[in-house]
Amino acid sequence: MSATLRMFALILGCCVLAATAWGKSDQDRISVGADLLIERGELVSDVLCVNCSIRVEGEATGDVVAIGGRITVPGRVRGDVVAVGGSVALSGTVGGDVVAVAGAVDLSPGAAIAGDTVAILGGVEGARDGRIGGKVTSVRSIVPIVASGLAVVLVMCLIAALVFQPLLTLLSAAILGPNRLAVLADTAASRGLLSFFLGAGLLFASFMLSFVGVFIPLWIPGLQFPFGAILFVVLVVGYAGVSYWVGRGLAPRANAVLAAFLGAILVTIIQMIPIVGWIAGFIFFMMALGTPVVSGFGTAVDWMGGRPNTPAKPV
């Protein structure tokens, strides 16, 4: 086992020890770093071993758990047998379930399990030699688990994006009004490159401040939240302007708020296209960050050029 996995097992085991300390019985056996042996004829309750292995030749009336170690049971366990970061070798009997995470379950002739047998990132060997009352589950690769989890997260994100982003743009467009939307859209159209690089600079600056703040106390306590809130507001306003820029091309006769809403739907759909859509989404994101700053939140297209009174195009 790697040093990192052992350290994780040690930390996890300490948490378990702390959680069970109040209910510890005189018959419990707990060890950290030293292997445990339940000898023949010995009767114990629960058994917990952290960064070590357990061998049960006698009987355990409770559960047997090893974190970062192997469990061998030639005797009897009335509860569950769980090994995290280790395997389970069974030639005796288990009254509950047998679970091995990042390890295998090896059953010898005569082994008996009343409950289920589960091996994650490992196999169940010798299942035909033992008597298993429940189901046998073996997941030898983490890829299916990760893939299924990512698929669920991706679907949820797509649904949230399709609903949340257009509705947020609709609300923002209604608050901004047609004149500011027109200035933001004109800025995205005529100052797109400047908006992109300014947005990228803002994002990079926020990452650098957050990163450096971990090592050097540059942040004033409580400043992170308002700074993040300001960036969020800038992004929402910018997306409304970029969406209106796209939407007024789709529906030139629609009012500004409806055009921004339609543009937001199209932008959201484009962002979901693999590779090409992701690149377009990255560009939209940077422009959305930069456009409000370049235009003074919809004040004028040339706001950064020192002419804040430049009139907006009629809508």
Q: Which two tokens stand for residue 64?
A: 């047997």
Query: Are the C-beta atoms of residues 80 and 115 closer than 8 Å to each other?
Result: yes
Q: What is the pLDDT of residue 306?
A: 57
User: Does 173 lie in the same domain as 131?
Assistant: no
User: Does 203 lie in the same domain as 91?
Assistant: no
User: Does 242 lie in the same domain as 133?
Assistant: no
Query: Are the C-beta atoms of residues 188 and 245 closer than 8 Å to each other?
Result: yes
Q: Where a domain ends, among 88, 121, 140?
A: 140
Domain of 269, in residue numbers? 144-305
Query: Are the C-beta atoms of residues 61 and 44 closer than 8 Å to each other?
Result: yes
Query: Are the C-beta atoms of residues 291 and 242 closer than 8 Å to each other?
Result: yes
User: Does 200 lie in the same domain as 188?
Assistant: yes
User: Does 129 lie in the same domain as 162?
Assistant: no
User: Does 166 lie in the same domain as 85?
Assistant: no
For 236, other C-beta atoms within 10 Å of its C-beta total 19
> Is the residue at 314 inside a domain?
no
Helix (H) or strand (E) holding 203: helix 192-215
For 24, other C-beta atoms within 10 Å of its C-beta total 13
Query: Are the C-beta atoms of residues 301 and 291 closer than 8 Å to each other?
Result: no
Query: Are the C-beta atoms of residues 13 and 21 closer than 8 Å to each other?
Result: no
> Is the residue at 315 inside a domain?
no
User: Does 75 lie in the same domain as 215?
Assistant: no
Nearest of 1, 205, 223 to residue 101 by alpha carbon? 1
User: Does 176 lie in the same domain as 134?
Assistant: no
Residue 157 is which amino acid? Answer: C
User: Does 126 lie in the same domain as 16?
Assistant: yes
Q: Where a domain ends, among 140, 175, 210?
A: 140
User: Does 154 lie in the same domain as 66?
Assistant: no
User: Does 291 lie in the same domain as 156?
Assistant: yes
> Is the residue at 136 inside a domain?
yes
**pTM score:** 0.48
CA distances for 167 relative to 87, 107, 163, angstroms: 51, 57, 6
For residue 214, the SS3 value is helix
Query: Are the C-beta atoms of residues 66 and 53 closer than 8 Å to each other?
Result: yes
Q: Which two tokens stand for residue 12?
A: 């996890």
Q: What is the pLDDT of residue 17?
A: 46
> Is the residue at 173 inside a domain?
yes
Tens of pLDDT, residue by residue, the chain (315 residues): 444 444 444 445 444 444 444 345 557 888 888 999 999 999 999 999 988 999 999 999 999 999 889 999 999 999 999 998 889 999 999 999 999 888 889 998 889 999 998 888 778 887 676 688 888 887 766 666 566 666 666 666 667 667 788 888 888 889 999 999 999 999 999 988 999 998 888 888 777 766 665 555 555 555 566 777 788 888 889 999 999 999 988 888 889 999 999 998 888 888 878 888 888 888 888 999 899 999 998 899 888 765 444 444 544
> Is the residue at 13 inside a domain?
yes
Q: Give counts: helices (H), strands (E), the chain.
A: 7, 19
User: Does 215 lie in the same domain as 252?
Assistant: yes
List CB contacts of 52: < 8 A, sequence separation 6 or more.
31, 32, 33, 34, 35, 36, 66, 68, 69
d(C-alpha 212, C-alpha 178), whole Å: 40
Q: What is the pLDDT of residue 249?
A: 85
> Is the residue at 310 inside a domain?
no
Q: What is the pLDDT of residue 124?
A: 86
Number of domains the chain contains: 2
